[in-house]
Structure 1
Amino acid sequence: MKIEIDFNDSEKSGIKKAFLFDVAKKTLAHQNFQYLKNKNISLSFATVPEGEIVKMNAIYRRKKTATDVLSFCEYKNQKEIEEAVDKNIYLGEIIVCYTYIVKYAKAEKKNAKQELAEIISHGVLHLLGLRHSQKMFKIQKEVSNNF
């Protein structure tokens, strides 16, 4: 599987594109996603300040609060991705608020890098059509434990 990542760090977070790539690769390479093995995958990442994520969360989720991640999927569900004939697949865009993630990690006495990895993996899993479930949380935890 080939992975291409576009990254817009408007929050000036200092997140390295290589880190995003590693988290995405580990998530996409998970055994449950073998149908991606022969595909060329592309996805976009962006960071935004807390004020911007509040606005976006209000628009797209009708919640007037900050959040750590928003995922904008190109496909309706996992089955649609599996049935995609094209070898090149754009999964969608993941938008994170790095300052929110760091504040949360500090408040919960968690490692910020691991928390960021878990949030990015979470976003990638949403792009793959997964909904919140034990399976999803298990995968993102397994991925983040590598960081």
Structure 2
Amino acid sequence: MARSIFRELAHEPEFHFLHKKKKILISISLVKNSEIQQLNKTYRRIKKPTNVLSFAEYKDQKAIASSPSTIDLGDMVIAPAVVKTDAEKFKNSFYQQFFWTTLHGILHTLGYDHERGARGKKQMEALENRILARRT
């Protein structure tokens, strides 16, 4: 799934630099709600589980673009039980919701952050919507 997301991202003008990379690495761990809740509490000071947490290696796209041909974007932690709950809430299939969650986490490792204000949220959501629209 992550590979297909990177292929989709490479079609976006702001990610053409991905074509120049020989290898793009990202670690994705699937964990229980209790584990992601503890991570969420530790790193975000939020005492409840979340669908995905991302730990980026690079601070922005310029740093990624200027990095070697093999890049390690960082780590993602996904809680499938939260994804399942989200799928039911938003009336999506589990696969659709898991795809969106993975895309969302990858965008965080690429420097996007919807929590940095209205502009960041708008940019991230627009990109997510463009990619999701191509999949339907």
Band of TM-score, shorter chain: 0.7 to 0.9
Unaligned runs of 5+ in 1: 1-18
Residues 112 and 47 from structure 1, CA distance in 2 versus in 1: closer, same or farther, beyond 3 angstroms? Answer: same
Residue aligning to 1:143: 131
Residue identity over aligned pairs, in percent, reads: 30
The count of aligned residue pairs is 128
Residue aligning to 1:89: 71
**Cα RMSD, aligned residues only:** 1.6
1:66 is aligned to 2:66: no
Unaligned runs of 5+ in 2: 115-120
Rounded to whole Å, the distance in 2 between the matches of 1:47 and 1:34 is: 29
1:48 is aligned to 2:31: yes
List structure 1 runs of 4+ shifted beyond 4 angstroms: none
Rounded to whole Å, the distance in 2 between the matches of 1:48 and 1:99 is: 9
TM-score, reference length from structure 2: 0.84
Return the structure number with greater helix share.
2
Rounded to whole Å, the distance in 2 between the matches of 1:142 and 1:35 is: 19
Q: CA deviation at 1:135?
A: 1.9
SS of equivalent to 1:134? helix
Q: CA deviation at 1:143?
A: 2.4
SS of equivalent to 1:37? helix
- Contact 1:27–1:140 (8 Å) recurs in 2: no
Residue aligning to 2:60: 77
Of residues 115, 122, 126 in structure 2, which corresponds to 1:134? Answer: 122
Rounded to whole Å, the distance in 2 between the matches of 1:27 and 1:100 is: 25
